[in-house]
Amino acid sequence: MRSLLPILFSALAVFPLSAQENPAHVKVYHEQGKFGGWPANWGVWIWENEILVGFAQGDYEDLGEERHHLARNKTERHLLARSKNGGISWTVEDPGKKGSLLLPNNGVFHGQLRTDVTPEEPIQLQDPIDFLHPDLAFTVRTDNIHAGQSRFWYSYDRGQTWRGPHLLPNFGTPGIAARTDYQVYNSREALLFVTAAKEDGREGRPVALHTDDGGLTWRLLSFLGDEPEGFAIMPASVKLSDQELYVAVRRREADRRFIGAYRSLDKGKTWQQEADPVEDCGIGNPPALVRLQDGRLCLIYGYRAEPYSIMARLSNDGGKSWSSDYVIRSDGASRDMGYPRVVQRPDGKLVILYYFNDHNSGPERYIGASIWEPPLP
């Protein structure tokens, strides 16, 4: 019987750009007959050249152009992929086999619940989280992308074992649909950016949550902008100073699918809407955001229209203006792709993670990584 968790590290062809801008493409997870998806829904963490990313895995099934190709009547799993050499090679791990399911009790979006492991019931957090622990990984997940009940876990050994789940309050909203995005201020203080359901229970608007006691208690600090007619979801944040924050969000208004942004100058208490960093991203895709070592911002997104692409934009003024697109890759075979995450290695290169399928690798969706050195300012 073929293993469900192979070690996968085959490199793909490199695009003919200049040497400095040329990304190398690697398959993080690709298995015949399987579906790998949505790193943006899970989280990414980096310690020097060790990188950990979460993703969903299920059985591949062609469900037509309008739907994700994950079989609805088969098991969906949450897996982790780890690289110890800066994203060049990867191994796949199943936290469920270690007793850390990292999912709410009914927390699958497309497939069926696992029957080989039992989710743990949430417990009250007794000891404060040390947000400055050198090997910390912290993750937040929801059981419903529209109006969910969210839970959080943390690890002090780089995601080998996890503590939790612990309930995240709904703060009087119809529900909190959390993905992992947080900014740390000290060992006990952090801001967590999540999506709250709108008053009608539908997706969604971004919210800043605050803790100053290591996650023992959380408070709703602020909403980012007014409640939209469409939605503003899946925030991706960077901390520009102790007081200034910039947050990009996935937006939908009528027929527009774009990426919007907000800025706070008072540590997340109030927000002003910024110019849209991306005015069109096809049928919609969330942003990934990182502040580079030289102070610039880099925004990554999936362009879910032909040519199906992974794109990057740079800003040298804290998100007030953005460059034109850098095409990381444009060989996608389907609009069922994107949902990126991004980290920067100590050598300055970016590791961009996403789900994808191309014309040469079969119909399955795989988890890919592109290693890219941004051009100099």
**From CA 359, how far away is CA 365, in angstroms rounded?**
11
Does 12 score more than 80 pLDDT? no
Residue 4, domain member (yes or no): no
Q: How is residue 84 written in tokens?
A: 């110890």
pLDDT tens-digit map of 50-90:
999 999 999 999 888 778 888 999 989 999 999 999 999 99
Q: What is the DSSP letter of 97?
A: G
> Does 1 score more than 50 pLDDT?
no
Model confidence pLDDT, tens digit, residues 240-250:
999 999 999 99
pLDDT digits (tens, 9 = 90+) for 312-343: 999 999 999 999 999 999 999 999 999 999 99
**What are the tokens at 112?**
């069926």
In a domain, 11, yes or no: no
User: Of 164, 199, 194, 193, nearest to 178 (Cα)?
Assistant: 194
CB count in 10 Å sphere of residue 196: 28
277 in a structural domain: yes
CA distance 216 to 63: 43
C-alpha to C-alpha distances, 91 to 70, 98, 278, 354, 364, nearest whole angstrom = 22, 16, 33, 16, 19
Q: Tell me whether residue 123 is in a domain.
A: yes
3-state secondary structure 142-158: ECCCCCCCEEEEEECCC
Question: What CATH number is attached to the domain comprising 317?
Answer: 2.120.10.10
pLDDT digit string, tens, across residues 288-308: 999 999 999 999 999 999 999
DSSP 242-275: SS-EEEEEEEEETTEEEEEEEEESSTTSS-EEEE
DSSP, collapsed to helix, strand or coil, labels residue 177 as: strand
Assigned domain for 251 exists: yes
Residue located via tokens 């096809």 = 282
Instruction: Please indicate, yes or no, if residue 18 is contained in any of the structural domains.
Output: no
Examine residue 15 and state whether it is found in any structural domain, yes or no. no
Answer yes or no: is 52 within a domain. Answer: yes
| pLDDT single digits (tens) 112-166 | 888 888 878 899 999 999 999 999 999 999 988 788 899 999 999 999 999 999 9
Domain that holds residue 256: 24-356+364-372
pLDDT higher than 90, residue 92: yes
Confidence (pLDDT) at 104? 61
| Whole-structure pTM value | 0.93
Q: Please check the confidence at residue 4 and state whether its pLDDT lies above 90.
A: no
Q: What is the total count of domains within the chain?
A: 1
